């Protein structure tokens, strides 16, 4: 185990305003996995060369211009899905979900359509991470950013997909996903189906040429992507940081930190 000073440093991107709940829970998840989370914002940059791994967090929509679209009518939808699952962490999940929702509400500064400065920041840090072959995890918006970075595009509004299946929007793990066989995600979760939370309005449309779909929900909406050949670049549309009680979800952070540990060792030699 590394000392506090020598723990692998995991950069975690976020907005200048807000984003505190996601940062708090991500920091805890990284710490539990044996790493040290370093917060990165447009107004608080760090040297990307000091990092051993990168997490691109959730937040505002990505500028549509990055994937050949326009910003005219970004839609926000708040239609709730119906509860139809009994899994997802048991009594602990039921107890934690209201706490997480309350924290998110207290620290919410309202939504903004896009965050151009953050887009530029994450482009810079992702380019640096890829050049150095660092492990990369994208969460929610971060998963979408990975796809756009590698040449894919996005659905700017996904409500039309949920005609037969309800559009679930909940911090509690209520949405069922199918995990594709043979993917890194399947190797991490060790299951072909699981329940996740859902807090997003956009999703991957066409995967980039080097990107493969790793999971979908029952409506066919992409819920996870990963790079076909890069050592570790995984994007999940849900928020595993808000599922500290689900061991399989915390293995995502453990995998990232384990790979970052190798980077840390090489850097010290």
Give the span between the Cα atoms of 14 and 41, in whole angstroms.
Answer: 5
Q: Which of 120, 210, 241, 269 is catalytic?
A: 241
Mean pLDDT of 5-16: 93
Query: Annotated catalytic, 269?
Result: no
Q: Please give the pLDDT value at position 80.
A: 33
Clarify whether 165 is annotated catalytic.
Answer: no
Region of 59 please: left (phi>0), alpha (psi -120 to 50) or beta: left
Q: From CA 262, how far away is CA 269, in angstroms rounded? A: 11
The confidence score (pLDDT) of residue 86 equals: 42
Q: Of residues 122, 140, 194, 226, which has the active-site annotation?
A: 140
Residue 140 bears catalytic tag: yes
> Could you give the C-alpha distances from 75 to 30, 136, 203, 204, in angstroms and in order?
33, 28, 13, 15
Mean pLDDT lowest among 31-40, 63-72, 188-197: 63-72
Buried/exposed code over 92-131 (b: 16+ C-beta within 10 A; e: otherwise): ebeebbeebeebbeeeeeeeeebbeebbebbeebbebbbe
Could you tell me what percent of the chain has a pLDDT over 90? 60
Q: What span, in angstroms and rounded, lies between the C-alpha atoms of 51 and 11?
A: 6
Assign residue 28 a region (left: φ > 0; alpha: ψ between -120 and 50; beta: otherwise).
Answer: alpha
198-248 pLDDT per residue, tens: 886 788 999 999 999 999 998 889 999 999 999 999 999 999 999 999 999
Q: What is the pTM of this model?
A: 0.83
The full set of domains in the chain, from first to last, is 9-268 (3.40.50.880)
pLDDT exceeds 90 at position 141: yes
- Judged against a pLDDT cut of 80, whether residue 122 lies above it is answered with yes
Residue 262 class from Cβ within 10 Å (0-12 exposed, 13-18 middle, 19+ buried)?
middle
């Amino acid at each position: 185990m590394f000392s506090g000073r020598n723990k692998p440093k995991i950069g975690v991107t976020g907005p200048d305003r807000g984003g505190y709940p996601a940062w708090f829970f991500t920091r805890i998840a990284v710490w539990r996995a044996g790493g040290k989370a370093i917060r990165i914002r447009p107004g608080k940059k760090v040297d990307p060369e000091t990092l051993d791994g990168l997490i691109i967090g959730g937040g505002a929509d990505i500028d549509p211009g990055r994937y050949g679209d326009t910003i005219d009518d970004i839609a926000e939808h708040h239609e709730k899905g119906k509860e139809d699952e009994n899994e997802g962490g048991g009594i602990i999940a039921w107890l934690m979900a209201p706490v997480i929702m309350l924290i998110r509400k207290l620290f919410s500064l309202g939504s903004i359509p896009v965050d151009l400065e953050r887009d530029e920041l994450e482009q810079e840090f992702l380019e640096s991470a890829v050049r150095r072959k660092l492990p990369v995890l994208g969460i929610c918006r971060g998963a979408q950013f990975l796809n756009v970075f590698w040449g894919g595009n996005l659905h700017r509004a996904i409500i039309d997909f949920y005609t037969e299946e309800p559009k679930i929007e909940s911090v509690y793990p209520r949405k069922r996903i199918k995990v594709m066989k043979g993917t890194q995600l399947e190797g991490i979760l060790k299951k072909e189906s699981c329940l996740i939370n859902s807090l997003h309005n956009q999703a991957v449309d066409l995967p980039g040429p080097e990107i493969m779909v790793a999971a979908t929900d029952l409506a066919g909406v992409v819920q996870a992507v990963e790079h076909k050949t890069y050592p570790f670049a995984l994007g999940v549309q849900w928020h595993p940081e808000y599922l500290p009680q689900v061991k399989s979800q915390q293995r995502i952070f453990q995998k990232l930190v384990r790979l970052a540990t190798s980077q840390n060792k090489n850097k010290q030699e």
